[in-house]
Chains A and B, each alone.
Chain A
Amino acid sequence: MNEQLIKFIELCLMDGVISDKEREVIFRKSKELGVPEDECEIILEGMISQNSLSNLDQKSIKDVKNETKKKNSFNRKKVPEFKLINLNNKQSLLEGKKLLKEKNDGLVKENSKLKNEISNNIKLIQDNSWNYLNSLRFNDKVLDQFVVSDIIEDVDEIDLYRDENGNVTWGLQKNSTQRKEPILPHPFFVIYNYFETSFFKRYDINYGIDKGKYVEQGGILNTPIFSTKVDFEYNIGDQRKSIIPEKYDGINPTRIIISEKNKKNKLVFFIFNNDFFVIELKYSVSFKVSDLRTWGDLGGKMIGYNSNQNNHYYWYSITRVEHSIHYNLLKLLNI
């Protein structure tokens, strides 16, 4: 094909159409270039139709783009930027943690020091307890809460004291009709006459008396019926038993100190040549009423009951005295 002719036709097709004048010139030019007229005709028609198709494609693409643009811009939302949470307090938290750890280290150290001091103080107390107890005099304060009420220093005197106080001579007086606070058993009675088998224990079921309790005294209302002595003559039964620790059996103390905090709380210190022990006594007292008819004939006779009398029997129950033995003063000092 004649390239010169083709370029010329392309020039004429720049505006997309071939005018009659341009057609005439193209045919003249083909003649000059030696291209037969029919061949020129084919080339020209081919190029015109190719140009039309190309224009059509351009138009379609443009239209589609315009439509899409229109469609996509409608209601389109801007997507926010994706961001992770951004926190940056790790360092200050670590510093806070370090500070607390340091504080704790200081506190642990301080506690360790305090514990050492306590341990030394305890040793001091233990080393000086015996001297302290030996220094106590009548009416002195003991361990800040008790007061010395009696001191026995002579062994013979101790025996005497024991004989004197190891019996029951307490309770309401004979013929008393009033309700009174009971006089509690002397510590020596408790310590040296601690019994497990007694009249009341043996007959407790029959007479409605709790096991292991001392019964002090009672009286039928307005009618005194028996003395406390009678009562406890039964109590001090066959099996007398002291609560002195076994290892001190047969060893006489050099000193006994009786002290009391109040009526129901007493301390008895038994001091020996090198050591000591303390018996702590706690009494519990309650006022009770029994119906004598439940005591039966034997019990009734025993306490002097007769059927003409009021059936109600008033009595104090002294709960079995609680006692604990200490071989140093620490617990008594709440240490």
Chain B
Amino acid sequence: MINIVELSNEILQKRKKIETNEKKIKHNNNSIKLKLKSINLEKVLNSLPSRGIGSTISYNKLNDKYDVYDTFQFNKIIRYVVFIENLENEYSDLVKKSINEYIYNPDSMLFGTLIKKYNFLSLNYQLLNILVDEVDGDKLMFNKVFNELEDQGMFLTKVEVFNMETFKSINDSLSKVVDLLDYVNDNITNLSVDVSITNDRLDDINSTLWSIKDKD
């Protein structure tokens, strides 16, 4: 006669095996999803510059135009250049970390931070570019940007910044600057708003600011 208990034990073992297999399948599906994410991330990362070079270009331009600025303004703009240099360093660090992590940890928050940093840096390049190009051109535009940056505390010394904790909302504040400028195109206004939208456009972001060649 058939041993019912043995059969039922067999069934239970088979069910356990099925359960284990289903867990493996779930795990593998999850790994597949992560790999697809890594592939997408690689595409996004490959569309980003490996480092920011805008401050160096502006540095040379500012030296060339030194005589055009009044000393007071020039010193403040240099402070802004230093701020952008720091942003560039942070961006480079994030790039390195992202390169190390995108395969093993594609769900990391790091990549969102990188994109945000990229956008913020681009925005600041745009503004610095106005400060460099328009000092002997569109004076009104130059002064609008200069005043707004000054109002946002961008030219404060480190000690002043520390005391006032002003930089917390600089990203948002800078977006207000952008609103003032007809000069600045639609790309910039959208930059710090929605990272996901930006991701879609990353293929096209060979921004002139990032790829700018030193004209001299």
Closest Cβ–Cβ distance, residue B14 to chain A (whole Å): 5
Q: Are A100 and B53 CB-contacts (below 8 A) given A79-B60, A111-B18, A128-B2?
A: no
Q: Are A76 and B2 CB-contacts (below 8 A) given A83-B50, A85-B46?
A: no
Considering the complex, give the chain B residue whose CB is closest to the CB of A82: B211
- Does chain B have a CB within 8 A of A334? yes
Closest Cβ–Cβ distance, residue A288 to chain B (whole Å): 39
- Does chain A have a CB within 8 A of B77? no
What separation, in Å, do the CA atoms of A121 and B95 have in the docked complex? 58
Contact residues of B between 16 and 32, Cβ < 8 Å to A = 17-18, 21-22, 24-25, 28-29, 31-32
Query: Does A80 contact B51, Cβ atoms closer than 8 Å?
Result: yes
Closest Cβ–Cβ distance, residue B212 to chain A (whole Å): 8
What separation, in Å, do the CA atoms of A89 and B45 have in the docked complex? 12
Query: Does A100 contact B28, Cβ atoms closer than 8 Å?
Result: yes
Query: Does A335 contact B49, Cβ atoms closer than 8 Å?
Result: no
- Does chain B have a CB within 8 A of A333? yes
Provide the residues of chain B in CB contact with A122, threshold 8 Å: 11
- Does chain B have a CB within 8 A of A101? yes
Contact residues of A between 97 and 133, Cβ < 8 Å to B = 97, 100-101, 103-104, 107-108, 110-111, 114-115, 117-118, 121-122, 124-125, 128-129, 131-132
Query: Does B4 contact A118, Cβ atoms closer than 8 Å?
Result: no
Provide the residues of chain A in CB contact with B15, threshold 8 Å: 114, 118
**Stretch of A28-36, A67-75, A255-263 with 4 or more beta carbons under 8 angstroms from chain B:** A67-75
- Does chain B have a CB within 8 A of A47? no
- Does chain A have a CB within 8 A of B38? yes
Chain A contributes a number of interface residues (CB within 8 A of B) equal to 48
Query: Does A104 contact B25, Cβ atoms closer than 8 Å?
Result: yes
What separation, in Å, do the CA atoms of A201 and B61 have in the docked complex? 97
Provide the residues of chain A in CB contact with B29, threshold 8 Å: 100, 104
What separation, in Å, do the CA atoms of A75 and B51 have in the docked complex? 22
Closest Cβ–Cβ distance, residue B114 to chain A (whole Å): 10
Query: Does A144 contact B103, Cβ atoms closer than 8 Å?
Result: no
Query: Does B60 contact A107, Cβ atoms closer than 8 Å?
Result: no
- Does chain A have a CB within 8 A of B10? yes
Q: Mark B51-68, 1 if CB is under 8 A from A, else 0.
A: 101001101100110000
What separation, in Å, do the CA atoms of A84 and B18 have in the docked complex? 47
- Choose one: A72, A83, A115, A333; the contact of B5 (CB below 8 Å): A333
Provide the residues of chain B in CB contact with A118, threshold 8 Å: 11, 14-15, 18
Query: Does A335 contact B46, Cβ atoms closer than 8 Å?
Result: no
Provide the residues of chain A in CB contact with B64, threshold 8 Å: 71-72
Provide the residues of chain A in CB contact with B102, threshold 8 Å: 87
Q: Are A85 and B4 CB-contacts (below 8 A) given A100-B28, A100-B35, A118-B14?
A: no
Closest Cβ–Cβ distance, residue A77 to chain B (whole Å): 5
* Count of chain A to chain B residue pairs whose CB atoms are closer than 8 Å in the complex: 141
What separation, in Å, do the CA atoms of A97 and B35 have in the docked complex? 6
What separation, in Å, do the CA atoms of A135 and B45 have in the docked complex? 72
Considering the complex, give the chain B residue whose CB is closest to the CB of A81: B53
Query: Does A131 contact B11, Cβ atoms closer than 8 Å?
Result: no
Query: Does A77 contact B103, Cβ atoms closer than 8 Å?
Result: no
Considering the complex, give the chain A residue whose CB is closest to the CB of B15: A118
- Choose one: B4, B28, B45; the contact of A329 (CB below 8 Å): B4
- Does chain B have a CB within 8 A of A208? no
Jot down 24 A-B pairs with beta carbons below 8 A, ordered by A.
Answer: A71-B64, A74-B63, A80-B51, A82-B49, A82-B210, A84-B49, A85-B48, A87-B45, A87-B46, A87-B99, A93-B39, A93-B103, A94-B35, A104-B25, A104-B32, A107-B22, A111-B18, A114-B21, A118-B11, A128-B1, A128-B4, A132-B4, A333-B5, A335-B11
A residues neighboring B (CB under 8 Å):
71-72, 74-80, 82-87, 89-90, 93-94, 96-97, 100-101, 103-104, 107-108, 110-111, 114-115, 117-118, 121-122, 124-125, 128-129, 131-132, 135, 143-144, 329, 333-335
10 closest A-B pairs (Cβ-Cβ)? A333-B8, A79-B214, A97-B35, A100-B28, A107-B21, A144-B5, A114-B14, A128-B2, A83-B50, A87-B42
